[in-house]
């Protein structure tokens, strides 16, 4: 099989690393990819939303399957684009069609989906500029903290959690009237605050059958002790120690099954990953959000624990025969620690040379924001490298991730040294 992966981060490098291990794989392409994918696949310099260029590449390279990493092309309808083109429609795309991708593209759509299918989540109401006064009244009816969410995609920045009522009202107005997040905040969802510990559950579905993948927990804040600004994720661990069998049984019955059933009932074709952001409130799981793709850096700990041939698994997704696959999960824990560029998630420099790869022994370095230039690996993003290791438990794995990340260097490299502190 010839496979094309869309994306350029640690998630895509991990998927490439895993697909590469399959005897069924012939040629692997990544668009646009990074220095890590360049070492194991052919990078194609096209953007993930340039569907015409993707089509050209797919036909020229005789691609048999497309695996979509990030949400953007899914929300923009890349899967629908393939299905509507006579030359592309028989080529499987791993990632949902636009209608289901709206679960990530619109918070309001996701909330309505959960209400319709009785999936536990925070109580909410949504507002527009026309209903600003009603929004104020709703805020007054809630206890702090107040949770304000821009309805649309806002690059992970569209959620505000505020303690002060007046500040919450002011922010609501800024979002609705002054378009704080552009079109993404034309509608704002206000939610009940849920107090608990977060984790993520990953599901792979073919639209009929599904498989639950290992759980993971990521660390979103830039600073130690979960302080400072939100990032895309500073590291992750899998499995999540507090997600025991009882808890996961609740997740399965109350959330995963009704979600996949909901896709069927609502006629939302879905072949791909579902990333369910959960919060454990007391002993009960509630859904914080849906994403229609794998997480990053969660992929860097979830996929290395899947022992199956991933090409076979994706073929089963395409053929709707996932029920024939027995997932085999590595008993070991996996952790990843993200090395980021100084300044991230605010302004940071690019183009610094990265060294130390040769010294890595019992870890895997997945590239996130890197670029190969004249034989050198240079930084090319805020999140630069994810260092994944296995261990008997997360502490053991973390000690290996840390031992190895110390061997890597670039100017102003930073990483959190306290992952797992809360467990
Ligand atoms: P989201 O983009 O919906 O995942 O929200 C971003 C982050 O905000 C989540 O990872 C949570 O940490 C936090 N969050 C979102 N909704 C709530 C809520 N209802 N209660 C408490 N925290 C929340
Ligand atoms: N690590 C969070 C995400 O991928 O959205």
CATH number at residue 45: 3.40.50.20
The residues, ordered by sequence, that sit 6+ positions from 37 with a Cβ below 8 Å of its Cβ are: 5, 8, 12, 13, 16, 30, 43, 367
| pLDDT score recorded for residue 157 | 79
pLDDT tens-digit series, residues 338-382: 999 999 999 999 999 999 999 999 999 999 999 999 999 999 999
Do 26 and 88 have their domain in common?
yes
CA 176-177-178 angle, 5° bins: 105
How close is the Cα of 211 to the center of ligand 1, in Å?
A: 25
Query: 159 is in which domain, residue-wise?
Result: 123-191
Q: Are 37 and 12 in contact (CB under 8 A)?
A: yes
Nearest ligand to the C-alpha atom of residue 122: 1
pLDDT tens-digit series, residues 10-51: 999 999 999 999 999 999 999 999 999 999 999 999 999 999
Please report the atom of ligand 2 found closest to the CA of residue 294.
4
Nearest ligand to the C-alpha atom of residue 232: 2
Please report the atom of ligand 2 found closest to the CA of residue 11.
4
| pLDDT score recorded for residue 45 | 97
Indicate which residue's Cα is closest to atom 9 of ligand 1: 288
| pLDDT score recorded for residue 154 | 85
In whole angstroms, give the CA distance from residue 373 to residue 383.
18
Asked if residue 304 has its Cβ within 6 Å of ligand 2, the reply is: no
Mutation to probe ligand 1, out of 158, 159, 280 (largest number of atoms < 8 A from CB): 159
Question: SS3 for 120-154, per residue?
Answer: CECCEEEECHHHHHHHHHHHHHCCCCEEEEECCCC
Asked if residue 191 has its Cβ within 6 Å of ligand 1, the reply is: yes
Mean pLDDT, residues 181-203: 94
The residues, ordered by sequence, that sit 6+ positions from 265 with a Cβ below 8 Å of its Cβ are: 117
How close is the Cα of 219 to the center of ligand 1, in Å?
A: 13
Do 92 and 146 have their domain in common?
no
Do 92 and 138 have their domain in common?
no
Do 6 and 73 have their domain in common?
yes
In whole angstroms, give the CA distance from residue 382 to residue 369.
7
In a domain, 8, yes or no: yes
pLDDT tens-digit series, residues 69-79: 999 999 999 99
| pLDDT score recorded for residue 274 | 98
Mutation to probe ligand 1, out of 119, 144, 195, 288 (largest number of atoms < 8 A from CB): 288
In a domain, 280, yes or no: no
Give the chain's domain count: 2
| pLDDT score recorded for residue 388 | 98
Do 85 and 41 have their domain in common?
yes
Asked if residue 218 has its Cβ within 6 Å of ligand 2, the reply is: yes
Among the three residues 191, 214, 234, which one is the final residue of a domain in this structure? Answer: 191
| pLDDT score recorded for residue 412 | 97
pLDDT tens-digit series, residues 140-183: 999 999 999 999 988 777 899 999 999 999 999 999 999 899 99
| pLDDT score recorded for residue 222 | 97
pTM of the complete model = 0.96
């Amino acid at each position: 099989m010839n496979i094309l992966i869309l994306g350029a981060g640690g998630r895509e490098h991990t998927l490439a690393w895993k697909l590469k291990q399959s005897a069924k794989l012939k040629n692997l392409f990544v668009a646009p990819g990074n220095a890590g994918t360049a070492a194991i696949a052919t990078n194609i310099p096209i953007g993930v939303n340039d569907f015409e260029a993707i089509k050209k590449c797919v036909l020229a390279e005789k691609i048999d399957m497309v695996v979509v990493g990030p949400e953007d092309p899914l929300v923009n309808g890349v899967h629908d684009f393939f299905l509507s083109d006579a030359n592309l429609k028989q080529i499987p795309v791993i990632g949902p069609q636009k209608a289901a991708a709206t679960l990530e593209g619109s918070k309001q759509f996701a909330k309505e989906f959960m209400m319709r299918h009785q999936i536990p989540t925070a109580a909410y109401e949504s507002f527009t500029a026309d209903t600003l006064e009603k929004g104020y009244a709703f805020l007054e009816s809630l206890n702090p903290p107040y949770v304000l969410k821009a309805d649309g995609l806002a690059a992970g920045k569209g959620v505000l959690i505020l303690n002060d009522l007046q500040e919450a009202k002011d922010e609501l107005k800024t979002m609705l009237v002054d378009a704080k997040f552009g079109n993404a905040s034309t509608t704002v969802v206000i939610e009940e605050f849920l107090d608990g510990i977060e984790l993520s559950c990953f599901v792979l579905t073919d639209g009929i059958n599904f498989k639950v993948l290992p759980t993971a927990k990521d660390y979103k804040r830039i600073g130690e002790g979960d302080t400072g600004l939100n990032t895309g994720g500073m590291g992750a661990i899998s499995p999540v120690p507090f997600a025991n069998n009882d808890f996961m049984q609740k997740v399965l019955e109350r959330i995963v099954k009704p979600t996949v059933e909901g896709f069927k009932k609502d006629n939302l074709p879905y072949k791909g990953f579902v990333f369910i952001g959960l919060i454990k409130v007391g002993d009960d799981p509630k859904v914080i959000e849906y994403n229609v793709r794998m997480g990053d850096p969660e992929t860097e700990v979830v996929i290395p624990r899947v022992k199956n041939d991933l090409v076979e698994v994706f073929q089963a997704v395409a053929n709707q025969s996932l029920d024939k696959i027995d997932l085999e999960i590595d008993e070991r824990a996996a952790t990843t620690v993200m090395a980021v560029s100084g300044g991230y998630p605010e302004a940071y420099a690019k183009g610094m040379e990265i060294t130390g790869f040769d010294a890595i022994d019992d870890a895997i370095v997945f590239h996130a924001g890197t670029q190969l230039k004249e034989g050198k690996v240079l930084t090319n993003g805020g999140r630069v490298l994810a260092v994944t290791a296995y261990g008997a438990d997360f502490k053991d794995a973390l000690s290996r991730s840390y031992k190895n990340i110390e061997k890597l260097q670039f100017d102003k490299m930073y990483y959190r040294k306290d992952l797992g502190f809360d467990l």
